[in-house]
Structure 1
Amino acid sequence: MRYLPYFGFALLLILADQALKLYIHFNIPLDGEIPVFGDWFKLHHTLNPGMAFGIELGSEYGKLGLTLFRTLAVLVIGYFLARAVREKQPRGLLVSGAAIWGGALGNVVDSTFYGVFIEGNATPIGAIEPPFYPWFHGQVIDMFYFDIWKGYFPEYVPLWGGKYFSFFPIFNIADAAIFCGVVAVLIWHKKFFPHVTEEEERKKENQPTQEVE
């Protein structure tokens, strides 16, 4: 029962994430959008074949490698979350870890299954169609679009040169959960890891002071 609040919270995030993604898929055409608050916040249907900010891995096996890496990351995060629950770590850390785990798993669902079950979603890999295609080649559905600034990067900018970019990239509930979880850990890390902070303070106190001649 001690695991239920945190893994249950993660499951709710995954269900909400998947429900909204499927709603966007079936109700908004690709590249279509619905204004929410004026022109600056919209629901915009787009597909992300790669990582954050649309970065893609090269070669026909790049997407497969990315999906497998994400899956491995989900397993590792889930293991550490379960261990943290057993060790009765601070509740804020457990909630943050659950948000990160749920968000990561939500995007893994897209990458693993959407290429098979959603027509036209599989990441294009040219004329090559290995036996696993389109398993593990699904594209993540993104929809939250903050149109604060938009334009094209100069061609000389590495990775993003010549690409269209908005000030806040398009993201989904899973991305937001991961971001919020990581930010919470960074902000309250001293509270979440008090033993580490105490150990650092002891080391500082035991360091010999250097006299200035």
Structure 2
Amino acid sequence: MKKASILIIIILLIDQISKIYIKTHFQLHESETVFSWFKIYFVENDGMAWGTKLSDILPFIGDRTAKLCLTTFRIFAILGIGYWLVNAIKKKHSKTLIFALIFIFSGALGNIIDSVFYGVIFNDSFGQVATFLPIDGGYDKALFGNVVDMLYFPMWQGNLPEWIPYLGGENFIFFEPVFNIADVAIAIGFGILLFFNNKAFPKKIL
């Protein structure tokens, strides 16, 4: 449990330090080129993966209600993942499973911190660099914060061949999504479960 806690804290620190730095040094949509294929590009996500909003899926509810529902769901989800992790450690399940759950839990918790607190502890980044703990208050209430993303890998951009169905001739960027350290941790965790499934869930020999 102690080793798991240390790894979780390390991942959270890397994630939150990077987000706080971006939030307090970049304006929204400001970018900095590191390499031709890698940029620091500050965007905020108030929805789910790839910027999808719950209200896009369920158009009969408003954006504010959808945001509150999404944040609440994330909180319950992280509690479930945390319980699974603690239970796996206590019952001495495979190290592969525990390692994967540590990454998933850390990443999910990192993004939940943004959703729950960032609206309160930062003002907005539109046309300005945000201030940490602004005197006149944050850009929104608790539970309505936006997730900070900044890692952008536009490795290739060009027009696709005309013979490709539906997308032929369209301008295409690979890899277009912008993400953060927490997303990387979640992806690593799910990747471990996917590619090392037999080690994560070994079959008991009767």
Q: CA RMSD in A?
A: 2.1
| Offset, 1:100 | 0.3
Show the 5 A alignment for 1:4-19: 4-19=2-17
| Offset, 1:150 | 5.5
- State the alpha-carbon separation in 2 of the partners of residues 62 and 176 from structure 1: 25
| Offset, 1:166 | 5.6
Query: Quick check: 1:115 aligned with 2:119?
Result: yes
Partner in structure 1 of residue 150 of structure 2: 143
- State the alpha-carbon separation in 2 of the partners of residues 36 and 93 from structure 1: 35
- State the alpha-carbon separation in 1 of the partners of residues 176 and 2 from structure 2: 34
Partner in structure 2 of residue 32 of structure 1: 30
Query: Quick check: 1:176 aligned with 2:184?
Result: yes
Q: Cα gap change, 1:11/1:75 in structure 2, threshold over 3 Å: closer, same or farther? A: same
Query: Quick check: 1:43 aligned with 2:51?
Result: no
| Offset, 1:183 | 0.6
- State the alpha-carbon separation in 1 of the partners of residues 157 and 142 from structure 2: 34
Amino acid at match of 1:73: A
Q: Alpha-carbon deviations, 1:59-89, whole Å to 9, x = none?
A: 1200000001110111000000000001111
Partner in structure 1 of residue 162 of structure 2: none
- State the alpha-carbon separation in 1 of the partners of residues 9 and 70 from structure 2: 23
- State the alpha-carbon separation in 1 of the partners of residues 23 and 153 from structure 2: 19
Amino acid at match of 1:139: N
Aligned partner of residue 153 in structure 2, secondary structure: strand
Q: How many residues align?
A: 174
| Offset, 1:8 | 1.8
Q: Alpha-carbon deviations, 1:142-188, whole Å to 9, x = none?
A: 0000113458xxxxx9xxxxxx9763410000000000100111111
- State the alpha-carbon separation in 2 of the partners of residues 51 and 4 from structure 1: 31
Amino acid at match of 2:101: G
Partner in structure 2 of residue 97 of structure 1: 101
Q: Which runs of 5+ in 1 are unaligned?
A: 122-132, 152-156, 158-163, 200-213
- State the alpha-carbon separation in 2 of the partners of residues 166 and 71 from structure 1: 32
- State the alpha-carbon separation in 2 of the partners of residues 57 and 13 from structure 1: 27
Give the structure-1-normalised TM-score: 0.76
Amino acid at match of 2:175: F
Which structure is richer in relative contact order (CA contacts within 8 A, separation 6 or more)? 2
Query: Quick check: 1:87 aligned with 2:94?
Result: no
Q: Alpha-carbon deviations, 1:100-121, whole Å to 9, x = none?
A: 0000000000000001111127
**Runs of 4+ off more than 6 Å:** none
CA radius of gyration, larger in: 1
Between the aligned residues of both structures, percent identity stands at 39
Give the structure-2-normalised TM-score: 0.78
